[in-house]
Structure 1
Amino acid sequence: MNMANTAVVAPPPPKRLEELSLPRVFMRDVALKTIFRKNANTVTYLSKAICLPIGITQEIIDIARGQGLLEAMGTLGAHSTTNEMVYQLTDSGKARAMDALAQSEYFGAMPVPLDVYSQQVKRQSIRNVHITREQLMGAMGHLVLPSTLISHLGPAVGSGRSILMYGPPGNGKSSISNGIRDAMGDKIYIPRAVEYSGQVITVFDPIVHSAAEVEEDDPTALRRRNRFDTRYVLCDRPTVITGGELSLNMLDLVYNPTARTYQAPLQLKSTGGIFIVDDLGRQAEPPQKLVNRWIVPLEESKDILALQSGEKFEVPFDTLVIFSTNFHPNEIFDKAALRRIFFKIKIDGPNQEDFLKIFALVARKKKMQLDEEALIYLLKTKYPTIDNVYANYQPVFLIDQMISVCDFEGWPYKMTKELVDRAWANMFVKDEHIVK
C-alpha cells in the first residue's frame, strides 16, 4: 500500500554504453571477472549477472573479443530453446580476469557511478515525502497516543530532518519510531553497488533493504524490456535501527582487505529512509561525540567518507535521523548540539485514563478477562507505592505475567488480586541488602 503521497521516478534503463559513465576498461574487467567466477557464457546469462540490457552487454563482449580476451564457441545447439552464441575466456582473457580479481574481487552487477546515484537520491528524497495526520495515525493505530503527540510528530516527520525523542523508559519511543517508518509506505531504488574513483562500494544489503517483488519479462522473449535500471533494487524505504552497540567506526566505510572492496556504512545504507539511534546515552562513546559526527550531514545533506588511501569524498546524506533517549537532553548535550537537532519531542508515560485504555486493549488481545475489583486493587493499592507513575510497557508486562501464572497453575485467564500481586512482584525489585 502506497501511503505516502509521493511518486518516485525510476532510474531509466541505459540505452547505450556511454550512458553508464564508467571507464570501458573498468566495465570490461567487471564482465571478465563475472564470466570467470560465474561461468556466464552467453549474453543472456551475462546480461542478467551484470544487470545491464542485452544490447549493452553485447557491446562489452564485442570489446573483449576485439582485444582477444573472449572467443565465440558456436551456438548452444539443439538441446537449448534458444540459439545463443556461447563465449569463453581465452588464455589472455583468463590472465586478465585473474589480474583484475587480484585488484578487486568484485564481480556481478555493474556499479552505478556515485554522482549518477546522487541524482537518483534527489529524485526520491525523504524530504519529498508528505505524510498526513491520517497516515501517521493509521501507522500507529496499535498505540494509544495523545493527539498532541501526533501534532508534534507530523511536522517533524514531514520535514525529513532530525528528531530527538526523550522521556522515561518503557513508553514506546521505539514503537513510535517503527510507526514513523511504517507511515512512509512507498518504495525507492537502492543501487546494488556504487563506484567512486575506480573503487566499488556495495550498498544493497538484504538485512537492511526489503526488496519488492518486480514483475520480470519473459527471458525467452526476443525483446526483453526492463522497466527500470536493474543495477538498482526496488525496495521499501530502508530503516536502520542501532542501539547501545553503535560506535563511531560503524559510520565509516567498511573495507574488506581480502576482497579489496568496500561496504557502505549504516547511514549510507539508510539513504532515502530512517536511521534510528535507540537508547542514546548507552553507547561506549558519549552522546555529544556521536551527535558531533552527524552535525555536517544533518546541516548540509552530505557526508564525508574516506577510502583506505585516505582520500575523502562526499556522499549524499538523505536520511531522517531519529535519536531516542531516556535521559533529559540537557544532561547529555550542550546547547550547540541541541540547536542542530531540529525537533525535540518529549514522550511521557500515559495518564490513568490512557493506561486503562491500553490495559483493556492488551487484555482483549491476549484473552485475559478483566475484573473490576482486581483493577481497582491495582490502581488504588499498587500504583500509589510508585507515586502513580504509569508507563506504556506495564499493561503488557503485567498481563503476560498473569498469563504465565495461569498457565502454570491451570487457572482460567481471569484477573484476580492474587494474580496482580504475583505479577507486580516481578515488575519491580525491592531495594534490599544482600548478605554475601
Structure 2
Amino acid sequence: MQYSPEQNRQDVAIPLDPRMPMAPASLEETGLESSFLLRLAAKCAAEQDTITASHLADRMKLPKVLANILIKELVKLALLEARGLAGEDVRSDIRYALSANGLEYARAASRQSQYVGPAPVSLDAFCRQVSLQSIHDERVTPERLIESLEGLVLSDSLVEKLGPAMNSGRSILLYGPPGNGKTSIAERTSQLFRQTIFVPHAIEVGGHVISFFDEAVHQPIAGADAKPYPKADQRWIECRRPVVKTGGELTLDLLDLTFNDGPNVYEAPVHLKASGGVFIIDDFGRQQVAPQSLINRWIVPLERGYDFLTLHTGKKFKVPFDELVVFSTNIAPKDLSDEAGLRRLKYKIFVNNPSRDEYIQIFKSYAGGAAIDVSDIDLNHFYDRKYHGTMLASCYHPKYILDFVGSYCEFNGMPKVASLDMLERAWEGVFTLE
C-alpha cells in the first residue's frame, strides 16, 4: 500500500499495514501496570538533570499524552518537580527534575531492575503480534525460490523438494555428504521471505523485562522502505524477517532465558528472537550436547507451535514458536535421533554429491568468476582421472582447486590458466593423499 500525505494527519485511524501495532491511547492500553510505568519513567528522568514530556515520550516510545500523564502522577507523588520552561517560547515544554524523594524512588526502582529505555510490550501483545505476522502466512513462489537459489548449481529434483518444504514454514532436515551446499541452501532462505514484521524492544512478564530486539538479528526497515505512520506504537520496530544461524556453539542453555543478575534483566533466547523468521542449526550433531537431547528439547515447539520459558523465580510462561527451522547435517538421520524425534522434522531432504555435468558447470562458473582459463578437454580429462572408484566429486572441490591455481599463478607471475598439469598440482596441494 502506498503512503500518501493525507495519512500523515493525526486523526487518521487506518494504518498502512493492518498488522501494524497501534499506539496506546491510555496507560491501560499499554498492557503494563501503572506502577511499572512510573518506575520506568523515574529511571528515565534520573538519566539527566531535567526532563520534558517530549523527551520522556521519545525515551519510553510512548505517545506524549501518556508521558504527560506519568509526569503529572510523579509530580502528584512529590517525586518530580517543575523547573520552568525548556525554552523562551511560552508553548515550550516544562522542564522537570526528580526531587530528593524522587531520586531515592528511582534508585529503588533501579535496584529492582536497571532496565531503562522503551517501555516493553506485554506478553499477550507479543503473542498476538507473532500470530498476525506468522511466517506460515507468507507464500513462497517457484519464481522466488529460483531467484533465491541463483548461483547455486542444484538438480531439478532437489529444487522441486525444496519448494514445498520452504513454503511450509515447518522444520526441514538437509542431510548428505559434506561440502555440497547444504549450508548455502539454508542461508538462501533469507531471500525467500519479503514481508516485514514488527519486533518489540522488550517484553514484560510478571514485572520482569526481557530484552528482545537484537541488532545482530533484527534488520530494521529504513529509508524509502519504511512505513511512517504517526499513530503506530513506537515500542515496535518494523524489521525484515530475521534469520538466525547457530552451529557447534548451540547448547541447551541458549534455548532458555538468560538472566543477567547485575541489571536484573533477561535476554530472550535465540529461537525466540527468530520468531516470524528462519532459525538455522548448522552442523547439526556437532554440538556439545547430543542431537537427541536438542530434538527432545524441541519436541513440543516443533509439534505444537509453542514453547515454555522459565523465569529465575520459577514462574513458567508460554511463548509462540513460529519460525522455519532448518537443520543442516553431514550425519545420517538414523545416527541423529530415534524415529520419534525424526518424525518431528517434517521434511527430510538429501543433498547429494554433484553429477559430472553439475560438477563441470560449477567448475566453469568459478573459473569465469576468477578469470581463470580452462579448456573442456583438460577439465574432462581431470575429472576422469580423479573421480572414479570411491572418490566422489563434491561441490566445494572446484573452488578449492581454482583458489590454488589462482594463488600459484599470481605468485609465479604466470597467466591464469588451469591446464591439466596445473590442475594436478592443485589437487596435490589441496587434498590429502592417502
Asked if 1:323 corresponds to 2:327, the answer is yes
Q: Mapping of 1:198-347 within 5 angstroms?
A: 198-213=207-222, 226-347=230-351
Name the Cα RMSD after superposition. 1.9
**Cα distance between partner residues in 2 of 1:356 and 1:400:** 16
**Cα distance between partner residues in 2 of 1:377 and 1:82:** 84
**Cα distance between partner residues in 2 of 1:92 and 1:333:** 60
Pick which of 415-424 and 196-205 moved more.
415-424
2:420 to 413, 417, 421: 417
Asked if 1:130 corresponds to 2:139, the answer is yes
Aligned to 2:81, the other structure's residue is in SS state: strand
Aligned position for 2:32? 22
Asked if 1:350 corresponds to 2:358, the answer is no
The structural deviation recorded for 1:395 is 1.4
1:383 to 371, 381, 387: 387
Aligned position for 2:45? 35
Aligned to 1:121, the other structure's residue is in SS state: helix
Q: Mapping of 1:38-187 within 5 angstroms?
A: 38=48, 41-78=51-88, 83-187=92-196
**Cα distance between partner residues in 2 of 1:145 and 1:186:** 26
Pair 426,246 (structure 1): closer, same or farther in 2 beyond 3 Å:
farther
Aligned to 2:46, the other structure's residue is in SS state: helix
Aligned to 1:384, the other structure's residue is in SS state: coil
- What stretches of structure 1 of length at least 5 have no aligned partner? 1-6, 218-223, 432-436
Is the 1:136–1:179 Cα contact (8 Å) retained in structure 2? no
4+ aligned runs moved over 3 Å, structure 1: 214-217
Is the 1:40–1:46 Cα contact (8 Å) retained in structure 2? no
The structural deviation recorded for 1:374 is 2.4
Pick which of 261-270 and 357-366 moved more.
357-366
1:13 to 23, 27, 52: 23
Aligned position for 1:4? none
1:426 to 423, 426, 429: 429
Q: Any idea what the Cα deviations from partners look like across 1:31-76, whole Å, max 9, x if unmatched?
A: 1111112556111111111111111111111111111111111112
Pair 337,39 (structure 1): closer, same or farther in 2 beyond 3 Å:
farther
**Cα distance between partner residues in 2 of 1:129 and 1:338:** 26
The structural deviation recorded for 1:77 is 2.4
The structural deviation recorded for 1:260 is 0.5
**Cα distance between partner residues in 2 of 1:288 and 1:27:** 43
Aligned to 1:41, the other structure's residue is in SS state: coil
Aligned to 1:234, the other structure's residue is in SS state: strand
**Cα distance between partner residues in 1 of 2:90 and 2:327:** 56
Aligned to 2:349, the other structure's residue is in SS state: strand
Aligned to 1:324, the other structure's residue is in SS state: strand
How many residues align? The count is: 417
Aligned to 2:192, the other structure's residue is in SS state: helix
Pair 359,227 (structure 1): closer, same or farther in 2 beyond 3 Å:
farther
Q: Mapping of 1:360-399 within 5 angstroms?
A: 360-384=364-388, 386-387=390-391, 389-399=392-402
**Cα distance between partner residues in 2 of 1:138 and 1:216:** 21
Aligned to 1:262, the other structure's residue is in SS state: strand
Aligned to 2:319, the other structure's residue is in SS state: strand
Q: Any idea what the Cα deviations from partners look like across 1:394-424, whole Å, max 9, x if unmatched?
A: 1111111110111111111111123212211
Pick which of 421-430 and 124-133 moved more.
421-430
**Cα distance between partner residues in 2 of 1:320 and 1:359:** 32
Quick one: which amino acid aligns to residue 322 of structure 2?
D
**Cα distance between partner residues in 2 of 1:52 and 1:298:** 35
Quick one: which amino acid aligns to residue 333 of structure 1?
S
Pair 178,259 (structure 1): closer, same or farther in 2 beyond 3 Å:
same
Q: Any idea what the Cα deviations from partners look like across 1:145-195, whole Å, max 9, x if unmatched?
A: 112212111111111111111000001111101111211122111110000
- What stretches of structure 2 of length at least 5 have no aligned partner? 1-16
Pair 143,293 (structure 1): closer, same or farther in 2 beyond 3 Å:
same
Pair 169,227 (structure 1): closer, same or farther in 2 beyond 3 Å:
farther
Quick one: which amino acid aligns to residue 415 of structure 2?
P
Pair 63,430 (structure 1): closer, same or farther in 2 beyond 3 Å:
same
Is the 1:76–1:82 Cα contact (8 Å) retained in structure 2? no
**Cα distance between partner residues in 2 of 1:268 and 1:205:** 11
Is the 2:367–2:374 Cα contact (8 Å) retained in structure 1? yes
**Cα distance between partner residues in 2 of 1:15 and 1:370:** 68
